[in-house]
Amino acid sequence: MPRLTKIYTRTGDDGTTGLVGGKRVSKDAPRIWACGTVDELNSSLGLARAFNAQEDSRARWRIERVLARIQNDLFNLGAELATLPEDFRKGMPRISRVQVAALEKLLDELNAELGPLKEFILPGGCKTAAALHQARTICRRAERFCVRLARGEMIGEFVVPYLNRLSDALFVLARWANKACGVKDTFWQKRWP
């Protein structure tokens, strides 16, 4: 396993970056937009975890475990996007039906505790929930970039379904975090007083 001993290489000074396998592409290539947005999403979940660690919530440990697993999945998803199909090797991690099913199970469990949503809600609430709502919007952007990438290049079969399910899971997890913190969701008002 390669280890980083030096962070700067100067190889990107020409506006290119290396993919897994060695091929160099422009830093504004669709694949790099997708990878970069997945990385941004992962960073935003790191912020949500930092906020969650400060919450006085009965759900703090459950949220921590869920977000730690999702961050690991996203790191694998980013590596998958950074690897051209011909450069995949046996044993390289990929997003599969297993990770999509895990998100669906999480959604079902959390929704059962929350009950039906009857109104649109505005993003916000406790710090953890607000960060999760922001992560949800970044997730949707990552999904859009992956859909665009898939129009012209091969990507993993479960990349888009995973991101689609993840954005739903982040929305529900934000609502669940608010409930655990004793903060009510703010409902959208059709007419402002």
Interatomic CA distance for residues 112 and 172, integer angstroms: 11
Q: Per-residue pLDDT averaged across 64-85, rounded? A: 96
Interatomic CA distance for residues 134 and 167, integer angstroms: 10
For 26-187, which CATH superfamily applies? Cobalamin adenosyltransferase-like (1.20.1200.10)
Q: How confident is the model at residue 118 (pLDDT cuts 50, 70, 90)?
A: confident
Q: At what angle do helices 60-81 and 127-152 cross, to 10 degrees?
A: 20
pLDDT at 10: 73
Mean pLDDT over the full length of the chain: 91
Residue 26 confidence (pLDDT) above 80: no
Q: Give the global pTM.
A: 0.90
Q: Per-residue pLDDT averaged across 36-61, rounded? A: 92
Interatomic CA distance for residues 43 and 131, integer angstroms: 11
Backbone angles phi, psi at 172, to 5 degrees: -70, -40
Residue 79, CA distances (Å) to 20, 90, 169, 173 in order: 8, 14, 22, 25
